[in-house]
Chains A and B, each alone.
Chain A
Amino acid sequence: KQEVTQIPAALSVPEGENLVLNCSFTDSAIYNLQWFRQDPGKGLTSLLLIQSSQREQTSGRLNASLDKSSGRSTLYIAASQPGDSATYLCAGAAQGGSEKLVFGKGTKLTVNP
């Protein structure tokens, strides 16, 4: 059974700092991977999707990479801002399996002004 671990569980940084969030899968056969953002009491907002043929994706200050051999992904946030404060979730779809996404518990990020 696929399990997803996100480290750290919570992170508090001063504004302007660069930071890295980590995600690892027990089964490295990941078909694709998505990073999401969730604000309190809200649904999930998709940030980046890394498809099976890709190794990384970039959007603005965000960069996500996927190492399929180890089953690890990182989300890099550059020049963090208070508006980046949210919970960040990673989720993967298993290769050769169902279309479902398996989620980690998330990293709660607080960016202090």
Chain B
Amino acid sequence: GAGVSQTPSNKVTEKEKYVELRCDPISGHTALYWYRQSLGQGPEFLIYFQGTGAADDSGLPNDRFFAVRPEGSVSTLKIQRTERGDSAVYLCASSLIHSTDTQYFGPGTRLTVL
């Protein structure tokens, strides 16, 4: 079956621009996670959705970052007024119910802020 998909695969933008990153989880998975991975580092948690609601957004670095999951399936990570330090690979994962289930990761979106 289809895995987690993310679009776009690559995004190049300039400072101060607005970007949206999309995640399509595995069908039927209620839990969805966003992580950010910088070069040479492990992924760092950003936000966790259970259904439509953000159950834990403690990893969002500041109020320029926002994520939604309005229908409990597709999620969009939104970054306002991008900064060079936002450059990273943004990974999305989903699991059947919660973290006691295997988390399946998408291929990521590589964001480059010039």
Contacts and interface: CB of A to CB of B under 8 A. Distances in A.
B91 A103 contact: no
B48 to A, nearest CB: 5
B25 interface: no
A73 to B, nearest CB: 14
Listed residue (B91, B100, B106) with the most chain A CB atoms within 10 angstroms of its CB:
B100
A44 B98 contact: no
Contacts of A98: 45, 48, 55-56, 58
Nearest to B9: A41
Interface in B76-114: 91, 93, 98-108
Interface string B32-58: 010100001111110010100001101
Contacts of A105: 40-42
Interface of B: 4, 31, 33, 35, 40-45, 48, 50, 55-56, 58-59, 91, 93, 98-108
Interface of A: 4, 31-32, 34, 36, 42-46, 49, 51-52, 89, 91, 93, 98-106
